[in-house]
Structure 1
Amino acid sequence: MTAPSALLPGTKTVPFAARLASHGDRTAVLTADGTLTYRELAARVEETAGRLGHERRLILLVGANTVEALVVHLAALSAGHPVLLVPGDHPEAVRSLVDAYDPDVVAHPDGGQWVLDERRPGSAHELHPDLALLLSTSGSTGSPKLVRLSHENLQANAESIAGYLEIRDTDRAATTLPMHYCYGLSVIHSHLLRGAALILTDLSVADSCFWEMFRTGGGTTFAGVPYTFDLLDRVGFASMDLPHLRYVTQAGGRLAPDRVRRFAALGRAAGWELFAMYGQTEATARMAYLPPGLAETHPEAAGVPVPGGSFRLQPLPEWPGENTGELVYAGPNVMLGYARTPEDLALGRTVDELHTGDIARRTDQGLYEIIGRRSRFAKILGLRIDPAQVEAMLARHGFTSLCSGDDEALAIAAVAAGTAAARRIRGLVTGECGLPARAVRVRLVADLPRLPSGKPDYRAVRELARPAAADADAHADAGSGSGAPARDRGNGPEDLCRLYSRILDRPGVTPDSTFVGLGGDSLSYVEMSLHLEERLGRLPADWHTTPIRDLGPAREEAPARGRAVETSVALRAMAIFCIVGSHVHVFGIKGGAHLLLAVAGYNFARFHLTTAARGERVRRACLSIARVAVPSMIWVGFVLLLNDDYTLANLLLLDSVLGPEGSETGMHFWFIEALVYILVVAVALLSLPLADRAERRFPYGLPLALAALGLLTRYDLVGLPDRTLMPDAVTVFWLFALGWAAAKARTRAQRILVTAAALATVPGFFPGDPGREAIIIATFALLVWVPTLPSLERVNRVAGLLATSSLYIYLTHWQIFPLIDGFSRHLAFLASLVFGIAYATAANRLMRGLPSLPRRPFLLSPSR
């Protein structure tokens, strides 16, 4: 495949992006949903290039490790359109760069599908013929300062990397780093150049799903920044069986020499190699690498220049010494220059060599070793941070500060008082820079440290913010009467990571993790939300899909009064309260079980229909089904040993299918059976690639169509037997589907349609019982129109306990209240609730101890 013939004469392209089809039917991309060959990838790229047009336009691409984002990126490079690649996980940065550069086209995900938002037919900018790519050097801050890279830069850098890594067309590289990061992008480019395959994923190396995908896909390599290697230690990488692994690359910041040595030795013993590398965005990614054979003997070295590049050392008075100076790099991968405004996009080359700002020395062996920094820029955990920008940001929030950094952390001295100020500063910085809380050290002072000349004393800033001092500030409020240390009840990202890990029983929780991404479901949602609200105050409606680092530290504490409770939580608590109270005859409010079915559909959509891959969504949903079915079967089995109220059909949750007719006790668990049947059908449906794609493309339309299909049985339009002779799941499925649609309703029109559907279809379902029907209609109205209800902290705790335990209260109350109701109905009512809560606690502990369901290799399933 060559560049599209429709290109205007003289348009330059990136050769490897325009020649994808030359690799034929070799595998190009593996995802959790299937594979793409190079021929198929090239066809999709050519189609998208046609949509972008032949006149050059500035394409802003919201970066993501997805096939859709990759196709847009390659289409633009192959058709000569400059790409402004921005971080997809930081909306503020996206908005900032859209405002600053006014792109002609914005490519971004929207409701589960990718769209090309064409803002104009041509271009509003003068674009230099050599300009191919624009990348930020400042992490996720949305700074308008961008690196301008040419077509030659991208091709030369990919060829250089493919050369010294000896990339083969049989290699398969996992995308462990984000696409918008130059290091992650270089992995993509260098492997596509050689006709190798990409295991395209956004999973973390801390996720066991990543390693299953890596092994199943025959992964031969992956890349990591220093923090990645911390995670590898946590997940037991040293003992993993990775039969195809050939080499591991490291860059994005200095890895401590002892760790370079240890991982190199580990690789030597296991049959793979470690490439420690050095680079900058301004060099399109790589400038030096340390040959694997030298990693154990010279772990402190950055290495030798990449093929085609060269170094020189510029002497500096403040760094005397032979073979020492600022490291200056030259090569075909050196950027065209910087852009700070849209007008700069018309510029050609403004730099010929790159002054790295790093102080280096050349050893007797010809290796280059980084020994310091000339400027104040810091590279922390792979992110390049400008302390001056951090100071300016804090000043906008009313804090006078000085900032400095090294390879490990950003040190901040600020004029302020009180632990709340320290937490707010740390939260602002972590949110702005994307750093974890442990890499931001804050020290509050009365006066900022100054040199005798009056200039800032940045060395003193670093000394003031050493870990001991920073920790003292962070935990100064250790005594609050609870007896627990502040680190166990704080609201910083690290504190919240520990909370998530404890409640979800998941190791490897990071500030980038989300509740849904960690496998949280409706059974753990309530407990987590109550703990978070207690620590952070009011929670945003989308907290369950929000990264931990964006949740709390920057939020102000909410007052003790004026708390809120999520509507779905309140409805679950009210439903089980009414169910038990009605069965014990304390009062007679019916409709609770059907209310719970609607909420179950609502929560199914919220917690399981995420952006995760199809296989992962199915696996998590199956675990949730198990958390309903297994404790239920255990309880029924226990009761079977004591009396003959139930049968084996009840034990197997099949009474509604096989059970004897007319049994007064057999249908006690109809709700649990209906819920399990509906969930099984929903999961089976979404395990189909076609249905999975339909749900992602029509997240609101699909459940609405399913609800309409369910009305065929609700109104008996297909000649079904009497309702009493069929499983209840058949006739109540529409309630679940309508709850699912309620969760996906985003616009006013969609909410009105769900409400109208409930108003039109619920009446008549319970002839002669309008009160029950009114409760169900109100459920849908509240779910779509009122996401939270005003509450008090104590009420929240009670509602949380009832909602979390609702399934188990329903399960066990049939055996508890008959033991006491002859003495006191009210006591029987209370005992049923308390026992169910206790059984919920035991069941949750049991389920956390069970091994995860095995994951089948979804990589090899058809892609379309």
Structure 2
Amino acid sequence: MTLLPAPPVGGHDLPLASALPLAGDLALHGDRTALVTAEGTLSYRELSERVAETALRLGPRRRLVLLPGANTVGALVVHLAALAAGHPVLLVPGDHPEAVAALTSAYDPDVVIHPEPGDEWRIEERRAASAHTLHPDLALLLSTSGSTGSPKLVRLSYENLQANAESIATYLDIRDTDRAATTLPMHYCYGLSVIHSHLLRGAGVVLTGLSVADACFWDLFRSAGGTALAGVPYTFDLLDRVGFADMELPRLRYVTQAGGRLAPERVAHYATLGRRRGWDLFVMYGQTEATARMAYLPPSLAAEHPTAIGVPVPGGSFRLEPVEETSGGVGELVYTGPNVMLGYARTPDDLALGRTTDALRTGDLARRTEDGLYEIVGRRSRFLKILGLRVDPQQIEALLARHGLDVLCSGDDEHITLAVVRTPGWDERRIRRRVADAFGLPARAVRVHLLSELPRLATGKPDYRAVRALSRPSDPSEQPPIADDGDQGDLRALYARILDRTDVTPDSTFVSLGGDSLSYVEMSLHLERRLGMLPPHWHTTPLRELERRATTPRARGRWRRSVETSVLLRAVAIVCVVGSHVRLFDIRGGAHLLLAVAGFNFARFLLSSPDRRERTRRSARSIARIAVPTMAWTAFALLISDDYDLSNVLLLHNALWPEVMGTGIHLWFVEALVYILLAMTALLAVPAVHRLDRRFPYGLPVVLAGLGMLTRYELVGLPDRAQITDAVTVFWLFALGWAAARSRTVPHRLLVTAAALTAVPGFFPDEPRRELFVMLGFCLLVWFPTLPSVHRVNQVAGLLAGSSLAIYLTHWQVFPLVDDVSEPLALAVSLLFGIGYATCVDRLVRRVSALREGAARQAPRLRLKVRRSVDVS
């Protein structure tokens, strides 16, 4: 992290005695690892030095510092530096420029921190001394309204932050050997408390902005020795989707949940899973107004008491205050403790206030069980009074949840507004009638909106403001972020169609849905047409984020026209292969370059899942997508020509007769690729090798490339390479492409580049142009993920790359028909015919999949008919 300097200012008025100890005492933990990122590690001593340096740059005069939060080293260093030196921090959502602008305008901060490209941060010093009167206890300002930029903020003191971190560290028993991942945003009080409580104890923080739905997150978590995960209810939905229950996480010690109510059956499920896998589940309860946490449920009680929030955190206490129209010991839950906020701020003048709140009225209705545990039974502030009837929205949500519906309920004095995820068998009328009958409401007072997903804040918590806005579409300030239909639904339909999946969700990514190199090109073309241009790393970006970026003008403006280097190389390579065979020009080496690209895409797509069985299934599907069209075309060619025999149809020719150089050797590339993919799939299906790959994602392919070099240089006593199958002699190219995709640092890329530049020369004797072509293509693949382009070039490159296998298969039989007429015509016809064959294969696959799905839907009905007929007989 580089922090761009600001000029020093004179004077000194910082209240050093009130600065935050957990931020100021970092050096006490010495050389222990403080932060782990994808780029490396940072010790506490190094972190302390950066914090001290940044504190000097912030200046000695106490000023209000606005910081856009981000899960990066740079943002965290600025945050800790300001707190250690006594500057109050206004922590805002860094991924929502509108909120940043709104709060900058509302609070006129003295210092604004601006993120720059990379992990650099620029200090904008707006004035030498503060324009505000800042209370000595004021340490941090947090929003309770997500990314809306609302001027209502929570005022937290240094004591609040320190006491809350110590309380959490105590009941979680955080140790200096723990390493917790930042699964939540830093600007969210829950995410921030994870960081503070672990830094307090000298534990490590795995600092990342990756989602738990991203395979790269789990790569980092495992390599860092992660011991702790934190999540809101939505996080647990994602964990289910990525196969968390079957993951090998040997160092995981505890999982925490807060940020909303997790369904009791889900609490019991995860508590039982934790017992079986050796980790604890801590269900927690809190609010920003309590800095973060007010209660926790001891793990030993979670399975038996999944409805409880537990007991107060150390240093805190609860009481129940009577509420009208409640009974059975139910009252409003009131919390007191050293972590209760100073109060709210609505204008800059409120920054001068001291404590205005001694006890926190949570707004939740609760009761205390005979076991001494607290349970939340409703929300006082969410009660609605419609036509004189008092209605609890949480009870409506619970009613519909029992019918299998995902729903959020809000409203006003006139209407109940329901946001409901579309579910077969339930339409607006049926839902409206069910609610109206159950609660004695007129049907006209219940408004139902069927959505493809529920509105949520960036933290994953329900967005009730967006639910209310569904019934007020004329108010532009209250528009919900998710519409019933529209581009996002279109994108989901696009993913479902191209990837042949029925389980596409807003958090799905191309990779998580099993996308491979064959579908990658088609998807990228469609997305570029829909979105205008592609953002970086779109294949690992959730659909929700693609849609958000697509509708943000500033974000769209940052995207420039570019083409994926791997896509361009596939297109260029196949044109060179066909053109050289037609003898229009002589640029050879395309097939060998395609092998390196195949290894590159193997790592990006087929190895993206952290689940071993899912990897195997993806690889098997990809192999089938290569082998079946090849065998079909070869069988057809066998009928119309004498180019091939049965060994070609069965993809065995190169293995049986590698030295035969007749027309049967035409398909060596496809056979070699299939053999390599089969071997790697089988190898990675071995649990021990799978674990090695997850632990050493770069090291494993490097080692395999080294083994491949033994055959490249004929060092293992094998026959001359002309006497053995090409899959053995060219495997090192595939492995180097695999290692290139896993290269995360400059030394990684330098190593694979050096290996390629060493191994390629001499592999093609007396063909320096061929060697140069392969080396140049490989260097582009390693060092330039994308290249500047225009939309038309992207379309052509994508079409050729997506059809490259079909072009390679068919051109041997196509170009001889017209090459006597014109060599350029032979090239054009070969390319067009291959594209046509690829299109036909794709449509046939989709048709078969549709028939299979139809049969699967009919199967239960057929079984029911059979059962009924048996019953009748």
**Normalised by the shorter chain, which TM-score bucket?**
0.5 to 0.7
The amino acid of 2:833's aligned partner reads: A
Instruction: Kindly indicate whether the alpha-carbon contact (under 8 Å) linking 1:674 and 1:728 is maintained by their aligned counterparts in 2.
Output: no
Q: C-alpha displacement at 1:135, in angstroms? A: 1.4
Q: Tell whether the 8 Å contact from 1:376 to 1:387 is kept in structure 2 after alignment.
A: no
- Quick check: 1:140 aligned with 2:147? yes
Pairing 1:494-573 to 2, within 5 Å after superposition: 496=491, 500=495, 503=498, 511-512=506-507, 515=510, 524-532=519-527, 537-542=530-535, 545=538, 547-552=542-547, 568=563
TM-score normalised by length of structure 2: 0.62
Q: Match of 1:363, as an amino acid?
A: T
1:311 aligns with 2:336: no
Name the residue aligned to 2:634.
none
* Corresponding residue of 1:325: 331
Q: Paired residue for 1:815?
A: 812
- Please point out which of 347, 355, 358 is paired with 1:349: 355
Report if aligned partners of 2:229, 2:254 keep a CA contact under 8 Å in 1: yes
Q: Does the C-alpha gap of structure 1 residues 170 and 257 become closer, same or farther in structure 2, counting only changes over 3 Å? A: same
Q: CA–CA distance in 2 between the matches of 1:214 and 1:156?
A: 28
Q: Within 5 A, what are the aligned runs for 1:586-735?
A: 640=654, 644-645=661-662, 680=736, 687=743, 689-690=745-746, 725-728=767-770, 730=772
CA distance in 1, matches of 2:845, 2:226: 38
When the two chains are superposed, the root-mean-square deviation of aligned CA atoms in Å is: 6.2
CA distance in structure 2 between the partners assigned to 1:31 and 1:574 by the alignment: 35
Specify every segment of 5 or more residues in structure 2 that has no aligned partner in the other structure, as ranges.
Answer: 1-9, 384-392, 399-406, 433-447, 475-479, 552-559, 632-647, 674-707, 715-721, 723-728, 847-873
Which residue, 327, 335, 338 being the options, matches 2:341? 335
2:166 matched to which residue of 1?
A: 159
User: Does the aligned pair in 1 maintain the 2:455–2:462 contact within 8 Å?
Assistant: no
How many angstroms apart in 2 are the aligned matches of 1:515 and 1:544? 10
Counterpart Cα distance in 2 of 1:268 and 1:386: 32
Residues 376, 404 of structure 1: 8 Å contact kept: no
| Structure 1 counterpart of 2:179 | 172
* 1:369 is the counterpart of 2:411: no
Question: Which letter does structure 2 place at the counterpart of 1:831?
Answer: F
State the one-letter code of the partner of 1:807. S
Partner of 2:59: 53
Cα distance, 1:522–1:229 mapped onto 2, change above 3 Å: closer
Cα 1:188/1:518, change in 2 over 3 Å: farther
1:566–1:789 contact (8 Å) kept in structure 2: no
For residues 549 and 143 of structure 2, the distance between their equivalents in structure 1, rounded to whole angstroms, comes to: 25
In the alignment, what sits opposite 2:102? 96
Letter in 1 for 2:305: H
Q: 1:842 to 1:122 in 2, by over 3 A?
A: farther
2:26 to 20, 30, 39: 20
Structure 2 residue aligned with 1:116: 122
Contact 1:17–1:75 at 8 Å: present in 2 too?
yes
Q: 1:267 aligns with which of 268, 271, 274?
A: 274
Q: Partners of 1:259 and 1:722 in 2: how far apart? A: 60
Residue matched to 2:3: none
Equivalent of 1:282, from 279, 289, 295? Answer: 289
Three-state SS of the structure 1 residue aligned to 2:309 is coil
Residue 71 of structure 2 is aligned to residue 78 of structure 1: no
Which residue matches 2:207?
200
* Deviation sequence 1:479-538 (CA, Å, 0-9, x none): xxxxxxxxxxx757577457547756999976355558989787544322455578xx45
Relative to structure 1, the CA distance from residue 94 to residue 442 in structure 2 (aligned partners, 3 Å threshold; closer, same or farther) is: closer
Question: Any conservation in 2 of the 1:582–1:590 contact (CA below 8 Å)?
Answer: yes
Match of 1:10 in 2: 15
- Partner letter of residue 511 of structure 1? P
Give the Cα–Cα distance (whole angstroms) in 2 for the partners of residues 217 and 742 of structure 1: 28
Q: Is the 8 A contact 2:421 2:452 kept in 1?
A: no
- Which AA in structure 2 matches 1:175? T
CA shift in 2, pair 1:726/1:282, >3 Å: same
User: Could you tell me whether the CA contact under 8 Å between 1:105 and 1:116 is conserved in 2?
Assistant: no
Match of 1:129 among 130, 136, 145: 136
Partner-residue secondary structure (3-state), 2:177: coil
Q: Distance in 2 between matches of 1:172 and 1:180?
A: 20
Deviation at 1:314, TM superposition (A): 2.3
Matched, 1:37 2:43: yes
Is residue 72–residue 119 contact of structure 2 (8 Å, CA) maintained in 1? Answer: no
Question: 8 Å contact 2:589–2:771 — kept in the other structure?
Answer: no
State the secondary structure of the residue aligned to 1:117.
Answer: strand
* Structure 1 residue 816, shift from structure 2 partner: 2.8
Show CA shifts across 1:424-474 (max 9, x none).
x989966899779999879988999xxxxxxxxxxxxxxxx9xxxxx9x96
Does the aligned pair in 1 maintain the 2:340–2:358 contact within 8 Å?
Answer: yes
Displacement of 1:101 after TM fit? 3.1
TM-score normalised per structure 1: 0.63
Offset, 1:306: 1.1
Distance 2:60 2:78 in 1: 15
Q: In structure 2, do the counterparts of structure 1 residues 741 and 294 end up closer, same or farther at CA, with 3 Å as the change threshold?
A: closer
SS at match of 1:303: strand
Q: Gapped runs of 5+ residues in structure 1?
A: 392-399, 414-420, 449-464, 466-470, 475-489, 557-564, 660-665, 667-672, 695-705, 714-718, 746-782, 791-795, 845-864
- Alpha-carbon distance in structure 2 between the residues aligned to 1:65 and 1:540: 26
> Which string of whole-angstrom CA distances, capped at 9 and with x for unpartnered residues, describes residues 822-862 of structure 1?
79858656434434667899999xxxxxxxxxxxxxxxxxx
Q: Cα distance 1:817–1:566, how it changes in 2: closer, same or farther (>3 A)?
A: farther
Pair 1:518–1:94, CA change in 2 (3 A): farther
Quick one: higher RCO (CA 8 Å, sep 6+), 1 or 2?
Answer: 1
The aligned amino acid for 2:233 is: P
- Counterpart of 2:836, as a letter, is V
Structure 1 residue 258 corresponds to structure 2 residue 314: no
- Whether the 8 Å contact between 1:422 and 1:442 is mirrored in structure 2 is no
Relative to structure 1, the CA distance from residue 340 to residue 31 in structure 2 (aligned partners, 3 Å threshold; closer, same or farther) is: same
Cα pair distance change 1:438/1:741, threshold 3 Å = farther
1: distance between equivalents of 2:463 and 2:517? 28
Residues paired across the two proteins, number: 685
**8 Å CA contact 1:580, 1:832 repeated in 2:** no
Alignment of 1:358-507 (within 5 A): 358-376=364-382, 403=417, 493=488, 496=491, 500=495, 503=498
Percentage identity across paired residues of the two chains: 51
What is the identity, as a one-letter code, of the residue corresponding to 1:548?
A: L
Q: Is the 8 A contact 1:576 1:810 kept in 2?
A: no
Counterpart CA distance in 2 for 1:249 and 1:191 is: 13
Give the secondary structure class of the aligned counterpart of 1:195. Answer: coil
Is the partner of 1:274 in helix, strand or coil?
strand
Instruction: State the partner residue of 1:397.
Output: none
Q: What amino acid is the match of 2:41?
A: T
* Aligned amino acid, residue 816 of structure 1: Q
* Residue 311 of structure 1: how far off its partner (Å): 1.7
Which shifted more, 71-80 or 5-14? Answer: 5-14
Question: In the alignment, residue 526 of structure 1 is paired with which amino acid?
Answer: V
Distance in 1, Cα, partners of 2:536 & 2:247: 34
CA distance in 2, matches of 1:80, 1:147: 18
Q: Which residue of 2 aligns with 1:778?
A: none
Task: Measure, in 1, the Cα distance between the counterparts of 2:589 and 2:150.
Answer: 52
C-alpha contact (below 8 Å) 2:36/2:207 kept by paired residues: yes
Question: How far has the Cα of 1:180 moved from its partner?
Answer: 1.6
**Higher mean displacement: 516-525 or 101-110:** 516-525
Is residue 21–residue 38 contact of structure 1 (8 Å, CA) maintained in 2?
yes
Shift in CA distance, 251/724, structure 1 to aligned 2, threshold 3 Å:
same
Q: Is the 8 A contact 1:28 1:197 kept in 2?
A: yes
| Equivalent pair of 1:221/1:247 in contact (CA under 8 Å) | yes
Contact preservation (8 Å) 2:171, 2:313: yes
Contact 2:34 2:205 in 1 (8 A): yes
Is residue 805–residue 837 contact of structure 1 (8 Å, CA) maintained in 2? Answer: no
> Partner amino acid for 1:327?
L
